[in-house]
């Protein structure tokens, strides 16, 4: 919680600023009263020092009755009484101080100045209290606002992380559905190939298990995982399936959310290669452009084949993950032309280490 006593350096800085500001106000009020600039300045400096000390004490009633939790009646009553008490103490201390100043003949006018203008000083004391109350109340309200904002941001982050976790959980069923569909297709026609595919699937799951636990991974790892998945699918498709990876080392080092490419590669196989008798080639490319990473997954399409069930699920998963991970800085674009389907990802480059 905010406190003017939290750090000695800040306490002295506060006292100095208050002493200077209140001293200038008192000099402006007392100097024209005819007692001389020396007497007015000495009395003003002394009274300003007392005001600075009293202004620190005002913090306690402000903390006990913060504006955000107390009603207006309580605030007016508490601070009205506090202002009267503070002004009375200030004048009592000023009385003792002015007597001390009167012991030195050149400063005797300061004593007379105090006695002649006690009413004015009483009003100034009330105003100084209210000014101090405003300063402390503003600081307390500002701190409370910051704490509230921090809590809201924390809740937003937790909600986003929970949604990301839910999306990751959806990726596994999506992948399992496609993998089991492929495995089932082989069991009847080629049991040996089905067995080989099951072994490769086990190895693939082992590799992706570690990736799924990280927040960000190098794109190179994502490309290796995509290649491992395509190796699994090659057991079923044979020469009908080929792929090409085009990514320079600097692009491979860029960080992306884990399993970002997986749904796109699955879609490329399921909706691009599988319906075509002649199969085709999948191209996965990546390049760094200034502060962005551009990734593309391109696969051939048979425009005459009907739309298969599940189309669009993988794209929705990837789009939602980009939104949650990068907000408006990332985007997903699709285009279909010349018997090709292209998915283009634009991701901001991150300096964060994988964790």
Q: Interhelix angle for 118-189 vs 313-326, to 10°?
A: 150
* Residue 293 CB burial class (10 angstroms; 0-12, 13-18, ≥19): buried
Phi and psi at 159, nearest 5°, equal -65, -40
Confidence (pLDDT) at 353: 40
> Would you state the structure tokens that stand for residue 351, as one six-digit string?
């300096």
Which two tokens mark 350? 């991150």
- Give the integer Cα–Cα distance in Å for 301 and 298: 10
Mean pLDDT of 123-141: 89
The answer to whether the beta carbons of residues 141 and 68 sit under 8 Å apart is: yes
Q: What are phi and psi of 58, to 5 degrees?
A: -60, -20
Q: DSSP characters for 232-295?
A: HHHHHHGGGEEEEEEE-HHHHTSEE-TTSSHHHHHHIIIIIITT-TT-EEEEEEEEEETTEEEE
Instruction: Look at 39 and 51; give whichever has higher pLDDT.
Output: 51
pLDDT for 166? 56
| CA terminus-to-terminus distance, the chain | 33
Residue 341's nearest CA partner among 314, 296, 301 is 301
- The pLDDT score that the predictor gives to residue 354 is 39
- How far, in Å, CA of 10 to CA of 185, rounded? 74
Q: How confident is the model at residue 355 (pLDDT cuts 50, 70, 90)?
A: very low
d(CA 48, CA 77): 26
| Per-residue model confidence as pLDDT tens digits over 293-350 | 999 999 998 877 666 555 577 788 888 888 878 888 899 999 988 889 999 999 998 6
Angle between helices 37-57 and 118-189 (to 10 degrees): 40
pLDDT at 101 over 80: no
pLDDT (0 to 100) of residue 228: 84
Q: How far apart are CA 312 and CA 310, in angstroms?
A: 6
Tell me if 204 sits within 8 A of 232, measured CB to CB.
Answer: yes
What backbone torsions phi and psi does residue 297 show, to the nearest 5 degrees? Answer: -125, 120
Which residue's entry shows tokens 């809590």?
151
Q: Which two tokens stand for residue 205?
A: 């799951």
* Mean pLDDT (whole number) for 75-100: 86
């Amino acid at each position: 919680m905010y406190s003017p006593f939290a750090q000695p350096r800040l306490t002295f800085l506060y006292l100095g600023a208050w002493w200077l500001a209140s001293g200038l106000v008192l000099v402006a009020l007392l100097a024209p009263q005819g007692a001389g600039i020396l007497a007015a300045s000495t009395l003003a400096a002394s009274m300003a020092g007392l005001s600075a000390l009293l202004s620190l004490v005002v913090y306690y009633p402000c903390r006990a009755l913060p504006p955000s939790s107390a009603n207006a009646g309580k605030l007016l009553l508490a601070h009205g009484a506090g202002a009267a008490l503070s002004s009375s103490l200030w004048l009592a201390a000023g009385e003792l101080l002015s007597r001390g100043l009167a012991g030195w003949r050149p400063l005797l006018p300061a004593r007379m100045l105090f006695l002649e203008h006690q009413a004015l000083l009483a009003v100034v004391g009330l105003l100084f209290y209210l000014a101090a109350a405003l300063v402390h109340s503003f600081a307390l309200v500002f701190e409370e606002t910051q704490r509230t904002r921090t809590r809201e941001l924390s809740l937003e982050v937790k909600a986003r992380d929970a949604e990301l976790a839910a999306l990751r959980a959806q990726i596994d069923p999506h992948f399992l559905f496609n993998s089991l569909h492929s495995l089932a297709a082989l069991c009847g026609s080629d049991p040996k190939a089905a067995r080989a595919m099951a072994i490769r699937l086990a190895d693939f799951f082992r590799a992706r298990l570690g990736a799924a636990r990280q927040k960000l991974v190098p794109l190179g790892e994502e490309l290796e995982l995509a290649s491992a998945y395509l190796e699994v699918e090659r057991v079923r498709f044979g020469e009908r399936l080929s792929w090409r990876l085009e990514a320079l080392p600097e692009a491979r080092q860029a960080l992306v959310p884990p399993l970002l490419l997986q749904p796109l590669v699955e879609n490329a196989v399921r909706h691009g290669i599988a319906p075509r008798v002649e199969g085709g080639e999948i191209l996965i490319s990546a390049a760094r452009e200034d502060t962005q990473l551009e990734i593309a997954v391109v696969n051939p399409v048979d425009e005459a084949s009907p739309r298969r069930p599940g189309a669009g699920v993988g794209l929705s998963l990837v789009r939602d993950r980009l939104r949650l991970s990068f907000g408006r800085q990332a985007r997903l674009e699709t285009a279909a032309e010349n018997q090709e389907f292209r998915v283009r990802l634009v991701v901001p480059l991150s300096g964060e280490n994988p964790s």
